Amino acid sequence: MKTLARKRRHPAALVVLLLLGLLVTGGAYAVTNSLTEAKSAEQDQALIDEGRQLFLEGCSSCHGNQGTGTETGPSLIGVGAANVHFQMATGRMPLAGPAVQAPSKTPEYDEQQIAAIASYIASLAPGPAIPSAADLNTSEADAAEGGELFRANCAQCHQASFQGGALNDGRHAPNLTPVSDQLIFEAMLSGPQNMPVFSDSSLPVEDKQAIIAYINELREAPAPGGWALGSFGPVTEGLFFWTVGIAAAIACAVWIGAKVR
């Protein structure tokens, strides 16, 4: 004890003490960190296992036990979590039966189950991930630029006011008014059916955000003329005035004719 007390004032004592402190905190950090890492890897694995089970029950009849596809459904190897989330959250998958185009309907699975199947498919081969909160943050996005990008890349199928339209073979491009930001982002990442894939290299994240900001701005815009008539433009407006206007003119003529008699 006495020697320790004497050595306390030694010039090297401070250095030794500092090193000791660093060693202890560093060691403790490494232990807890590897523990939490192991825990999150365990959780990821549990999610993948759950997804695999759900997949075998609800999807493998068409997509195969390993997701490699069958005659009734394409291979899902490398399609990515974003594609699975898009297909399931819009209710397109699971497909009820043969159809020209998988119809969107109320989803059959909840968000947690969709996340599980998505991580299972992503564990088979890498593909576009589900967009993060940062990807979906459109507060800095330029809606005007998004409008130009939309007219150049999307309007030929979805129409300038995105009410959608018919394509060949009885397929159609859907109306984009009711879809969420995340689904718009995922549709661009995965390119369902006839829609091209807009990967991050061909359409960078900022451009995707600009397009989403534009769609949001347009769908929230008030109709200055009152009734928007589905925003279909001059065709519906013309039809409206043609039918209602001519009916009014005929009514007037009949009324005047009745008065004369």
Residues at the interface with ligand HEC (CB under 6 A): 58-59, 61-63, 72-74, 76, 79, 83-84, 87-88, 90, 92-95, 97, 101-102, 104, 117, 153-154, 156-158, 167, 171, 173-174, 176, 179, 183-184, 187-188, 190, 192-196, 198, 211
CB of 227 vs ligand HEC, minimal distance in Å: 24
Nearer to ligand HEC, 27 or 103 (CB): 103
CB of 98 vs ligand HEC, minimal distance in Å: 7
Nearer to ligand HEC, 95 or 229 (CB): 95
Cβ 138 vs Cβ 213: under 8 Å: yes
Give the C-alpha separation, 208 to 191, whole Å: 13
CB of 80 vs ligand HEC, minimal distance in Å: 8
Nearer to ligand HEC, 24 or 221 (CB): 221
Copy the structure tokens of residue 103. 């119809």
The amino acid sitting at 82 is A
The amino acid sitting at 37 is E
Give the C-alpha separation, 83 to 118, whole Å: 8
Side-chain-facing half-sphere of 24: CA atoms under 13 Å: 6
CB of 142 vs ligand HEC, minimal distance in Å: 15
Give the C-alpha separation, 130 to 54, whole Å: 19
Nearer to ligand HEC, 163 or 237 (CB): 163
Cβ 102 vs Cβ 135: under 8 Å: no
